[in-house]
C-alpha cells in the first residue's frame, strides 16, 4: 500500500516539470491570441495627463464661429470630446450620427471637436462627409497626420474624452456608440 | 482615324509622364532622408500596420513618422531622444525592443527560464539513467538460476538455426 503511494508521488514529481512547461506555453499562446489588435486594447499613454495641443485649419462651415484655425489651447477650460475620423473609414460613417446626437444633447456643456486625419489631400471628401451627416460641431483637417501621431493614434476612428482641466479621462478605439458617449460624458460632467 | 490614334498616343504619353513624375518624386523624397532615419525607424513599430516597422512600412503614417525623425535629427536630437519622443505618445508598444519592465519582462525572461528548466530536466534525467545503469539489479537467486538454465537450454537451439 505504502509502496503504491510512494510510486504515485514519484510519478507526480516526474510529471510536474512537464505539466508546468505545458501550462506556461499554453498561457503564453493564449496571451498572444487574446492580445488582439493594438488599437482596441492598448490604453492611451495620455490617460491622466494633459492631451497635446494642436492648431489645425477649420472647415468653412465652422469658420464664422471658430475662425480659420482651431487651437486647442485657446478653447480649453471645459470638458471635451475629440473624435478622429477619415473619409475612407467605414466605422466613421457608422458613428457620425451618434456623435451628432450626443452633441445635440450635451453640446452646451461639452466641446465636441472632429479631426479628419490619416486622409491626406481629401478635403473635398471631408467636406462631403461633414455635409452628409450635417455635423454641426467644429471639424478640422489634420492633413499631414501629425496630430494623430501626437495623440498616439493607432487608427480611425478613435475618440478622446478630456476633462475640463485638459487631462485625458478615457480613449475609445472603434466606432463610438451613444451608450459609450453618454457614460463617458456623464463621467466628465461629474 | 489617324487623328484619333495620335490623341490616344498623346494621352498615353501624358499618363506615362505623370506616373514617372509621381514615382520619381516619391523616390526623391525617400532618398533625401538620412540612413539613420531608417535605422531608428526599424526600432519603431508602425501604428497602423501588422508586423512592420516605421523603417520598412510604406503606410502614409510611417512615411510621416520618418519625416518627423529626420526633422528631429536635423535639430540635433539623439537616437534615444527620438525613440523617447514616440514612446511618450504611444507608450512602450511603439518600441520593437520593449524595455525590461512590467509585463514586458515576461518576453525577455520566459525564454531564458524555459532554457534553464530544460537544462535542469535533461541533467536530472541523464543522472538518473546513469545511476540506474550502474546500480546492480536485485534479483532473487532462484530466478537467476532459472534464467541461466533457460538460456543454456535454448542457446544451443538458437545457434543451430
CB contact under 8 A, A45 and B91: yes
> Over chain B, what is the mean pLDDT?
83
Q: B19 lies in a domain? A: no
Tell me the nearest-neighbour CA distance from A27 into chain B, angstroms: 11
- What's the confidence (pLDDT) of residue A142? 97
Asked if the bond preceding A157 is cis, omega within 30° of 0, the reply is yes
What percent of chain B is predicted at pLDDT more than 90? Answer: 44
Domain count, chain B: 1
- Residue A63 burial (CB count, 10 A): 14
Domain ranges, residue B146: 100-161
Residue burial B101-116, b: 16+ Cβ < 10 Å; e: rest:
eeeeeeeeeeeeeeee
3-state SS of chain B?
Answer: CHHHHHHHHHHHHHHHHHHHHHHHHHHHHHHCCCHHHHHHHCCEECCCCCCCECCCCCCHHHHHHHHHHHHHHHCCCCHHHHHHHHHHHHCHHHECCCCCCCCHHHHHHHHHHHHHHHHHHHHHHHHHHHHHHHCCCCCCHHHHHHHHHHHHHHHHHHHHC
Least confident of A149-163, B22-36, B41-55: B22-36
- What's the confidence (pLDDT) of residue A2? 65
Does residue B160 register a pLDDT over 50? no
Does residue A114 register a pLDDT over 60? yes
Are A81 and A161 in contact by the 8 Å Cβ rule? The answer is yes
Q: B22 lies in a domain? A: no
Least confident of A25-29, A131-135, B5-9: B5-9
Does residue B33 register a pLDDT over 60? yes
Q: B113 lies in a domain? A: yes
pLDDT by residue (tens digit) across A51-94?
999 999 999 999 999 999 999 999 999 999 999 999 999 999 99
CB contact under 8 A, B88 and A45: yes
pLDDT by residue (tens digit) across B39-94?
999 999 999 998 899 999 999 999 999 999 999 999 999 999 999 999 999 999 99
Mean pLDDT across the stretch A115-144?
97
Q: Does B83 touch chain A (CB under 8 A)?
A: no
Picking from A25, A117, A154, A157 by the largest number of B CB atoms within 10 A of its own CB, the best residue to mutate is A154
Q: B-contacting residues of A 152-181, CB under 8 Å?
A: 152-155
Distance in Å from the first CA to the final CA of chain A: 69
Q: B130 lies in a domain? A: yes
Q: Does A86 touch chain B (CB under 8 A)?
A: no
Q: B127 lies in a domain? A: yes
- What's the confidence (pLDDT) of residue B6? 66
Pairwise pLDDT comparison (B52 vs B160), residue with the higher score: B52
3-state secondary structure of A141: strand
ipTM of the complex: 0.78
Give Cα separations from B81 to A128, A184, B44, B75 (angstroms).
40, 35, 13, 11
Q: Is the pTM of this model over 0.90?
A: no
Q: B121 lies in a domain? A: yes
CB contact under 8 A, B110 and A118: no
Mean pLDDT across the stretch B107-128?
88
Q: B148 lies in a domain? A: yes
The contacts of residue A50 (CB under 8 Å, 6+ apart) are A166, A167, A168
**What's the pLDDT band for A107 if we cut at 50, 70, 90?**
very high
Q: B32 lies in a domain? A: no
Amino acid at each position: 500500500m505504502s509502496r503504491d503511494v510512494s510510486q504515485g508521488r514519484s510519478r507526480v514529481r516526474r510529471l510536474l516539470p512537464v505539466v508546468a512547461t505545458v501550462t506556461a506555453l499554453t498561457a503564453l499562446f493564449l496571451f498572444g491570441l487574446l492580445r488582439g489588435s493594438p488599437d482596441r486594447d492598448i490604453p492611451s499613454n495620455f490617460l491622466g495627463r494633459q492631451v497635446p495641443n494642436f492648431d489645425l485649419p477649420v472647415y468653412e462651415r465652422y469658420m464664422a464661429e471658430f475662425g480659420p484655425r482651431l487651437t486647442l489651447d485657446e478653447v480649453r477650460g471645459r470638458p471635451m470630446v475629440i473624435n478622429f475620423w477619415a473619409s475612407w473609414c467605414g466605422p466613421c460613417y457608422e458613428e457620425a450620427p451618434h456623435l451628432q446626437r450626443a452633441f445635440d444633447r450635451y453640446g452646451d456643456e461639452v466641446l465636441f471637436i472632429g479631426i479628419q486625419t490619416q486622409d491626406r489631400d481629401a478635403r473635398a471628401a471631408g467636406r462631403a462627409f461633414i455635409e452628409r451627416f450635417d455635423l454641426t460641431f467644429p471639424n478640422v483637417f489634420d492633413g499631414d497626420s501629425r496630430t494623430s501621431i501626437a495623440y498616439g493614434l493607432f487608427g480611425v476612428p478613435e475618440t478622446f474624452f478630456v476633462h475640463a482641466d485638459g487631462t485625458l479621462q478615457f480613449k475609445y478605439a472603434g466606432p463610438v456608440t451613444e451608450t459609450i458617449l453618454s457614460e463617458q460624458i456623464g463621467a466628465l460632467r461629474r | 482615324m489617324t487623328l484619333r490614334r495620335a490623341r490616344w498616343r498623346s494621352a498615353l504619353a501624358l499618363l506615362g509622364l505623370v506616373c514617372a513624375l509621381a514615382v520619381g518624386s516619391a523616390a526623391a523624397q525617400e532618398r533625401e532622408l538620412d540612413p539613420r532615419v531608417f535605422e531608428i525607424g526599424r526600432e519603431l513599430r508602425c501604428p497602423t500596420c501588422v508586423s512592420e516597422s516605421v523603417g520598412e512600412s510604406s503606410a502614409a503614417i510611417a512615411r510621416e513618422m520618418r519625416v518627423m525623425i529626420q526633422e528631429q535629427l536635423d535639430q540635433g536630437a539623439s537616437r534615444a531622444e527620438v525613440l523617447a519622443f514616440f514612446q511618450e505618445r504611444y507608450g512602450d508598444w511603439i518600441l520593437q525592443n520593449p524595455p525590461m519592465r512590467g509585463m514586458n519582462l515576461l518576453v525577455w525572461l520566459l525564454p531564458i527560464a524555459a532554457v534553464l528548466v530544460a537544462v535542469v530536466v535533461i541533467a536530472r534525467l541523464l543522472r538518473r539513467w546513469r545511476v540506474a545503469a550502474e546500480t546492480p539489479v536485485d534479483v532473487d537467486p532462484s530466478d537467476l538460476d532459472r534464467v541461466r538454465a533457460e538460456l543454456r537450454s535454448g542457446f544451443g537451439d538458437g545457434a543451430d538455426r
